[in-house]
Structure 1
């Protein structure tokens, strides 16, 4: 395609040079019309490829069949009234070959079209030869039986959503037989008896089961034997049976692990021990909706995580609760995580963390490239044991030069003085200071300090300051911070201008 001109501009330039109707008989004009015809044909194929590349449903393809072979019922259902024969499938096949991404819905219309294609197209013909991404939704057993019409060995990603177990089993069977090169597989769930099919996907890189797949030693052995598996997402209920997993079945190439609906601490530790310590770059752990009842030793979990020295993203969201809500909050040291030198993003949400101003310097040495720090809590049963003061923001700006997001609770009742304080960071940053207490007399000083340390602080989607107490004053601070930052910049510019003027006068007087 031309680097500057659009298709319409190219056509306009060509057609403007075409002689008027009736003058084509003059010598040399026939070649002009032939050139226009060739140009239109040249653009036709790319345009058709783009038009059919992404198909939200298989139903539009029925328009590629002869008009007398199908009809639409009163309720909108596509009916095949006469099975197309022989060459009548050619246009359908040409357009189907252009489809790269297809969403197959479990409708009666789709069933009728697939049935007709299964009966009318030769078994040696692959209609969807260009298909790379396939989404299957609400597919029943009958529709699953027609799936081979769509599948090809070049398929790269598959999503299976809201399909009955028996249909899912059938779909997995077809995929394992016809699509061994699948790289991405998403499913709400995988029946335990069908997990062996995953062994056929030797190129599988990403496996996601949103409703979970029962993890047994056999299934873990299957998964760990996949040579290219890099990303695994699954729920983790109480499954003590995985205690039988041998160290030889460890995941040696897994780079990203997301475990959700965690209900048991020992099960979590057992699974983490089955992963090679130098492979993970991303680890996300989230508890079930109910608080974890047996996670008394958070330090043990942090030590287990500290093995993964190549981690860049760590996200832990546990609904921690104390056995006695009247107990004094217990803060867990994050010292074991100091081994994660490559860490870029850390989120410890609803996890009681012990941190103070003095520890920020050590954290800066441990995580020199950190960009996001989130120690927020939304659970009434999880208390952050923090001794951080507002001065911590200045320390963050000093020891975390790449930081762009901070979410943490701190004490803002006694803001530090801004006298002689230079702006510490010129980077835009999202500050979410959760449930931080204020003093009614000093809240303007809080705004002044924040505007001096992080003059480009901003809010993203939610208020940068939010909490159960002093919400009104934090709202005032939100409005005041950018005003003070702008006033400080303007004052600095005036001072610099005055200094330059004085230097110029001194230079003139010396002459």
Structure 2
């Protein structure tokens, strides 16, 4: 390329951006140093996202060292105005910060370093274009640090909170501009001061669209305040540790009316009680909610589970996605009667728009092929179906056979992922026809927990159901001794399924090659 042609390339911003963003970091750094024409674009690429820790960025101000193993990194000399002039040239390009690395104290940045920065900083914003800040480790209640990071353009904040750190108080200075707030961590107690801080913070979250936080932070009065947030689209209450010190269960009730949560599309909540169904109430059906995840972390009975699913399906009839996770059954034997177990899921059949169905239970539940047939017919738009258990099935613990797969093949043409446990030792009662086959949308068939029958028979049945495209027949990995033999057998089945499908494809190609010359 001639010099003039090269100059023209570097003069086109769109091309320069494309080149720079595809370069590895080391090459981009060299471009920033040697090519003045694109230096700013290269710097913008290099410093747009700060990933891991902030040491390399802060070292632009001045060299940093640790005075002892316990001190953490601090500046080796006083900061001058010229240091800040140099630093601001780079920090102006920072838009996202992700602090992920767990470093030894000697390699971590000391609180004193942030104190020095705050004391010597210019009046201008340090990170004027920062829009997203994420940390995966608890931050101390350091106003010096927050004054450096919290800027008016910040719209996404993800912080880790543990007592006694006063994180919520510091969030208030930027609450009005936040669109996403994620308060991570596994707090085991909810003290009165934290509640007061949260109650003071909620009114200031004027534009919040996504809120994720530990469920222990959300009591009935806080839930009521959140329900008035007109822009809130996703509310996620993350599972609380089992040994957490909870307030009375009466403080965790979720009441819905048509005027509450006017923009809510996705909801994740936890109910720690043994009888969760009284804690969900809807005066009228809420049709705008599309995604619902519920964690039942108490000791759940079959009757309370049934009433809970009935309340959820009646209250949110237009769901596209539902996930229910049960931590513990009060009596495992209740779920060994397939008719009784199906009564838990029967109310959910009214969710005709369902795309995603996921149930996680702590022990085996029994269903029949006919029950799966009803589910598949009720949910023709299914994209994924997951009925999971953490322990392997024995042959007498479920009435499901490989025949239940036929129902999904016949009634769910868009199905992409299917996870279900069956008794593969039983002979399938539904014979396959040439038209009985999954559509090409299916990419994962997972039979985790299933018992294994005769390898060739099982593999042949599955292979005949699969389409000619790529589909992974998968069985979950586990180090548990009880899974070892079963995993080995299912690996044999998966390998044989692949061999059968490959032989079938090869046979079709050969047959086509034989008849093709006659048609010419």
Aligned residues: 465
What's 1:338 paired with?
349
What's 1:203 paired with?
207
CA distance in 2, matches of 1:227, 1:303: 28
Structure 1, 271-280 or 49-58: larger mean CA deviation: 271-280
CA distance in 2, matches of 1:445, 1:461: 18
CA 1:276–1:65: 2 relative to 1, 3 Å: farther
Cα distance per residue 1:133-177 (max 9 Å; x no partner): 123433223x23542232111101112225443x32xx4233212
The unaligned stretches of length 5 or more in structure 2 are 1-12, 24-30, 241-245
Q: TM-score, normalised by structure 1?
A: 0.77
Shift of 1:286: 2.6
- Aligned counterpart for 2:226 among listed residues 223, 226, 241: 223
CA distance in 2, matches of 1:84, 1:438: 69
Structure number with bigger Rg: 1
Mapping for residues 142-181 of structure 1, pairs under 5 Å = 143-165=142-164, 167-168=165-166, 171-181=167-177
- Aligned counterpart for 1:303 among listed residues 301, 304, 310: 310
CA distance in 1, matches of 2:371, 2:347: 13
Check the 8 A contact 1:272/1:304 in 2, yes or no. yes
CA distance in 1, matches of 2:333, 2:284: 35
- Aligned counterpart for 1:317 among listed residues 300, 318, 325: 325
What's 1:239 paired with?
249
Structure 1, 367-376 or 418-427: larger mean CA deviation: 418-427
1:431 aligns with 2:445: yes
Shift of 1:284: 1.6
CA 1:274–1:163: 2 relative to 1, 3 Å: farther
Check the 8 A contact 1:255/1:279 in 2, yes or no. yes
1:130 aligns with 2:129: yes
CA distance in 1, matches of 2:328, 2:394: 6
Q: TM-score, normalised by structure 2?
A: 0.76
CA distance in 2, matches of 1:268, 1:248: 20
CA distance in 2, matches of 1:425, 1:324: 34
CA 1:86–1:488: 2 relative to 1, 3 Å: closer
Question: Alpha carbon RMSD of aligned pairs, Å?
Answer: 4.0
What's 1:23 paired with?
none
Secondary structure at 2:176 match in 1: coil
CA distance in 1, matches of 2:133, 2:261: 27
CA 1:213–1:487: 2 relative to 1, 3 Å: same
Cα distance per residue 1:366-389 (max 9 Å; x no partner): 211102111222258999975333
Structure 1, 171-180 or 191-200: larger mean CA deviation: 171-180
The unaligned stretches of length 5 or more in structure 1 are 11-35, 505-511
Cα distance per residue 1:23-46 (max 9 Å; x no partner): xxxxxxxxxxxxx99993231112
Cα distance per residue 1:17-74 (max 9 Å; x no partner): xxxxxxxxxxxxxxxxxxx99993231112222222222434334433367xx76536
CA distance in 1, matches of 2:296, 2:511: 54
Secondary structure at 1:84 match in 2: coil
CA distance in 1, matches of 2:77, 2:131: 31
Shift of 1:182: 0.9
Secondary structure at 1:318 match in 2: strand
What's 1:462 paired with?
476
- Aligned counterpart for 1:73 among listed residues 18, 42, 67: 67
CA distance in 2, matches of 1:417, 1:180: 60
Shift of 1:294: 4.6
- Aligned counterpart for 1:368 among listed residues 380, 390, 393: 380
Secondary structure at 2:319 match in 1: coil
Structure 1, 278-287 or 70-79: larger mean CA deviation: 70-79
Check the 8 A contact 2:290/2:319 in 1, yes or no. yes
CA distance in 1, matches of 2:267, 2:254: 20
